[in-house]
């Protein structure tokens, strides 16, 4: 079993739709959680950190459920520019992070 698992998708949604991604992690001792965005042929970029209390950044909301060991990302009012691969990342506090394989999102006009 992989340490971090994501539904690879692809998710194809129309502009304006709400879309949610989930990610599960296997190590209950994990301490830090993130969502990264990666555009085609580009480097991953930090989208947002994820906290137990949940956090929101504009149209993006991230949630962490430690009991069930999953992380979610909700995107409201999808834009064409949101099309990318979204990577779930977990850090055990050991100094290194484990990346999921990513979920591909395509937003269509």
Partner 1 sequence: DAGVIQSPRHEVTEMGQEVTLRCKPISGHNSLFWYRQTMMRGLELLIYFNNNVPIDDSGMPEDRFSAKMPNASFSTLKIQPSEPRDSAVYFCASSTKDSYGYTFGSGTRLTVV
Quick check: 18 and 82 in contact, CB under 8 A? no
Q: Which of 22, 49, 55, 72 binds partner 1 (CB under 8 A)?
A: 49
Q: How far is the CB of 8 from partner 1 (least distance, A)?
A: 10
Could you give the CA distance from residue 102 to residue 19 in angstroms, rounded to a whole number? Answer: 15
Q: Which of 10, 16, 39, 45 binds partner 1 (CB under 8 A)?
A: 45
Q: How far is the CB of 52 from partner 1 (least distance, A)?
A: 13
Q: Please identify, using beta-carbon distances, which residue of 8 and 16 lies nearer to partner 1.
A: 8
Interface stretch with partner 1, choices 17-25, 29-37, 59-67, 71-79 (CB under 8 A): 29-37
Could you give the CA distance from residue 48 to residue 88 in angstroms, rounded to a whole number? Answer: 10
Could you give the CA distance from residue 65 to residue 72 in angstroms, rounded to a whole number? Answer: 8
Could you give the CA distance from residue 75 to residue 95 in angstroms, rounded to a whole number? Answer: 29
Q: Which of 39, 42, 80, 108 binds partner 1 (CB under 8 A)?
A: 42
Does 101 interact with partner 1 (rule: CB under 8 A)? yes
Tell me phi and psi for residue 12, to 5 degrees: -115, 115
- Determine how many CB atoms are found less than 10 A away from the CB of residue 90: 23
Residues that bind partner 1 (CB under 8 A): 31-32, 34, 36, 42-46, 49, 87, 89, 91, 93-102
């Amino acid at each position: 079993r992989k340490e971090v698992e994501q539904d690879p998708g692809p998710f194809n949604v129309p502009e304006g739709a709400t879309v949610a991604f989930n990610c599960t992690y296997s190590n209950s001792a994990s301490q830090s959680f993130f969502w990264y965005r990666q555009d085609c042929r580009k480097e991953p970029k930090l989208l947002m950190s994820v906290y137990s209390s949940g956090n929101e950044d504009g149209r993006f909301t991230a949630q962490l459920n430690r009991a069930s060991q999953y992380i979610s990302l909700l995107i409201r009012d999808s834009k064409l520019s949101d099309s990318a691969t979204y990577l779930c990342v977990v850090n055990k506090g050991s100094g290194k992070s484990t990346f999921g394989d990513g979920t591909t999102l395509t937003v269509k006009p």
